A = this chain, B = another copy of it.
């Protein structure tokens, strides 16, 4: 149906090779020929078939993006940044949402592998070993996680936690709970690690609450448990979980932040709009997406060599409604 290179060649009265050259390397072709080809191409509305091109060049100009859940507002932000940066280099984006199912990731990557030049895996849930199986075959950059030997971009959670705990400590809090996210989430482990280090630095007591789904419902599910514990503040795995806590606390008329302070992570749009506004650790989502694409393109250039690159993006505590514990 659509015009092919042959159609253009016929109309311009030249060979397919010349069309190809005229369009790709204009300087290698006589100006007159180039002009004829260009006119023919635009008359026919010719656009090269990138899939066919990829077959021979080995470069598809597509990048695969795999993420656990587009419904978590954190991811659309990252994807948007990826899109923007990818487009700048004439790359198109293949998107796959795995629905938080670790088992879906590997088959998905395999199935798409030949249609893309490689992948940006956002917060992948699969095991290290499973992912490592792709090393050497498929260019992969990992976001929000570190898996040797892939390049990666992660947020500086430890610093974020340090800021959060410093803030809570300054307000007078001494006991804090952490509501953990998915066990399969590297970010969760990273945040917990950072939190443990921070609470120990400040000599604060840390109580850990169950692993929950990284959703509003997940937060709501452990809110009562948290409320029943002797803490005056709680840090949630992410903002959605924090909002679930907030919601349930409100329903039970547990005053936030007076009775208990809630701190989230990510700084999604929602965080600033709820009442009381959520104190949260902001992550440089755009930077993560953008840097991911950059690392990816670097990776394609020098097909191998060089040791893996890890970029760490800054975090920033956004203080909104938190206060000191009521008894102060």
Interface residues of A (CB under 8 A from B): 1-2, 45, 47-52, 54-55, 60, 62, 65, 69-71, 73, 75-77, 79-80, 83-84, 92-97, 99, 110-115, 137-138, 216, 243, 246-247, 250, 269-270, 273-275
Contact = CB atoms under 8 A, between A and B. Distances in A.
Scoring A71, A77, A246 by chain B CB atoms within 10 A of each residue's CB, the highest score goes to: A71
Nearest to A276: B275
Contact of A80 (B70, B92, B113, B247): B70
Contacts of A93: 94-96
Contacts of A54: 51
Given A55-B51, A269-B270, A95 B83 contact: yes
Nearest to A80: B70
A273 to B, nearest CB: 5
Given A51-B115, A269-B216, A71 B80 contact: yes
B114 A92 contact: no
A52 B114 CA distance: 9
Nearest to A83: B97
Given A76-B71, A269-B270, A99 B112 contact: no
Contact of A94 (B76, B94, B273, B274): B94
Contacts of A69: 80
A161 to B, nearest CB: 24
A248 B1 CA distance: 53
Contacts of A114: 2, 47-52
Given A71-B76, A75-B76, 7 more contacts: A47-B110, A47-B111, A52-B114, A92-B94, A92-B115, A94-B94, A269-B270
Given A47-B113, A216-B269, A95 B94 contact: yes
Nearest to A49: B114
Contact of A216 (B49, B51, B216, B273): B273
Nearest to A55: B52
A3 to B, nearest CB: 10
Contacts of A138: 2
B83 A70 contact: yes
Contacts of A115: 49-51, 62, 92
